[in-house]
Chain A
């Protein structure tokens, strides 16, 4: 098992957000997380990353046999976890190239990925500053490719991106995730990304609890037709394995 989340509860600013989450992702598996806005999906990702203010109040997160609770974000990243941001921050004066050079010493690799994602002109620009929605996502993906994590957390990779950019990103992501042993947890609202990745497992988060588990494409169709309330009607919160 690559990622194992047991009985995880997380409070943010004293308010309970995640309640007794159980989730397992195997090596090579891609899981999709659906859920209405404010249900706690991003909180789960931040908690896996170990961001301050998102510590577990109970339960544990185990990655590749290592307990993550108490580890810094840097340590978690070194173990092989990577995050593709939904809304990455703009950092004045810090160039995309600086981060790229930190992530990889292989200049050819940097140049190949930046070519593929049409980011050559962006390398010497301040990170995310005046980047369009598509450029921001391509820059996120570029950094992830260089970082090469074993488990990729994708927070709404297609939000704010036009269809053309979704196709570029989808193809790059597909190639990345097709590599042996790569796993991912993907949050999506639009479902476009499901056309590109082979997700086996889908689950729904509602009000901080995981409900329902199944084939992600079927689940997405059902959510599209019937809304999230339907998920709640047909199942109790359950252990997702």
Chain B
């Protein structure tokens, strides 16, 4: 069965929700797809050679390689992780394969009160290159849902992984992702995170470990915080080897919710370069943004910097647009839209337009 056929059985509202988390249900603009609803894998198919995609449960039974990788990233950092997961995806991009169209995965909450716990493993082998877009979303019927997503990324020598995650939850969903990315020599990992819809609580602090020389990681996030939401969202990069580079950029807009924007750069070797930038706009008296940028180094020979700025919209910027004839309301919305510029993310062209449109729709509905 194709995703298109499966698509016929999904109710209209759910289809919208799934699409709004970046899933192309036609598969036309994707090279491989995975869809899990609650704990049931609905669909998994790769349309090209060199890309394997399957459920982690199945991979652990049939693929010794999956068993080798399972839990390794957590072990590497001596961290505990929940073992009672059910499903999630295993993606492997074979050595030297450069995948043009993105690979997509969707983790969807459907049943009321369901606790979805998944374990994802992403392996990008030596010299391979791939864009992965993961949408996590909740059906209108999934009241008080819970999502725990464990992700392990292995980016091998000279490989490139551009990972975009879109969260599209409900005001009563609780979400706790746990992610670790391990990068070998010369590898690059880009993580783009977008969360524009209401949510009850998201707590996450993904970590990238630059364990190979000349590897680099960047985390970019766009967060819109609705009233009664708590988003405690950080990114951490451990620069273990020489000549590694890291960048963390976040933009948060609070419409009344609480955002804790954390960032942690840790230099464990010489000659590393890292920058952290956090900007927040508070649009409601009820809103809170708490930026916690941290930098740590045991060496002198490093170059690390950070900048953080929080506040309301600059009055001068509004007046400037008003002096061109925009109404106050229009000026505010253009400025907020500009602040949440999709160019903050390092997206491939094909996803840029999609996410830009998604932002347009969501922001229009929020103001």
Contacts and interface: CB of A to CB of B under 8 A. Distances in A.
A88 B316 CA distance: 9
Interface in A50-104: 51-52, 72-74, 77-78, 82-83, 85, 88-89, 91-95, 98-99, 102-103
- What range describes how many residues of B lie at the interface? 20 to 34
A74 B337 contact: no
A215 B343 CA distance: 52
A147 B324 contact: yes
A74 B325 contact: yes
Interface stretch (B19-27, B173-181, B238-246, B326-334): B326-334
A99 B321 contact: yes
B319 interface: yes
Nearest to A149: B325
B340 interface: yes
Interface string B303-318: 0000000000011110
Interface in A189-210: none
B339 A77 contact: no
A74 B320 CA distance: 10
B100 interface: no
B232 interface: no
B323 interface: yes
The interface centre, meaning the residue of A51, A82, A94 with most chain B CB atoms within 10 A of its CB, is A94
Given A52-B315, A89-B317, A93-B341, A103 B325 contact: yes
Contacts of B314: 89
Contacts of A52: 315, 319
Given A89-B314, A102-B324, A102-B326, A73 B319 contact: yes
B335 interface: yes
A11 interface: no
Given A89-B314, A92-B339, A98-B334, A103 B324 contact: yes
B324 A143 contact: yes
A85 B338 CA distance: 21
Contacts of B337: 93-94
B249 to A, nearest CB: 12
Given A98-B334, A126-B338, A91 B317 contact: yes
Main secondary structure of the interface of B (DSSP, over half): helix
Contacts of A88: 320
Contacts of B144: none
A54 to B, nearest CB: 10
B325 to A, nearest CB: 4
A141 interface: no
Contact of A74 (B327, B339, B341): B327
Contact of A91 (B315, B328, B338, B340): B338
A73 B315 CA distance: 13
Contacts of A72: 322, 327-328
A166 interface: no
Query: Which of B316, B323, B327 has the largest number of chain A CB atoms within 10 A?
Result: B323
A91 B333 CA distance: 13
A110 interface: no
Contacts of B327: 72, 74
A94 B336 CA distance: 9
Contacts of A73: 319, 322-323
Contacts of B341: 92-93
Contacts of B338: 91-95, 126
B335 A94 contact: yes
B319 A51 contact: yes
Interface string A132-153: 0000000000010001000000
B74 to A, nearest CB: 37
Contact of B340 (A49, A74, A93, A98): A93
Contacts of A85: 320, 323
Contacts of A147: 324-325
Given A49-B323, A93-B338, A94-B335, A74 B328 contact: yes
A49 B318 CA distance: 13
Contacts of B325: 74, 77-78, 102-103, 147
Contacts of A93: 335, 337-341, 343
Interface string B205-246: 000000000000000000000000000000000000000000
A93 B316 CA distance: 15
Interface string B66-103: 00000000000000000000000000000000000000
Given A88-B320, A91-B317, A103-B324, 18 more contacts: A52-B319, A74-B322, A74-B326, A74-B328, A77-B323, A77-B325, A82-B323, A85-B320, A89-B320, A91-B320, A91-B321, A93-B338, A94-B321, A94-B335, A94-B338, A99-B321, A102-B324, A102-B325
Interface of A: 49, 51-52, 72-74, 77-78, 82-83, 85, 88-89, 91-95, 98-99, 102-103, 126, 143, 147
21 contacts: A49-B323, A52-B319, A72-B328, A73-B323, A74-B326, A77-B325, A78-B325, A83-B323, A91-B320, A91-B321, A91-B338, A92-B338, A93-B343, A94-B321, A94-B335, A94-B337, A95-B338, A99-B324, A103-B324, A143-B324, A147-B325
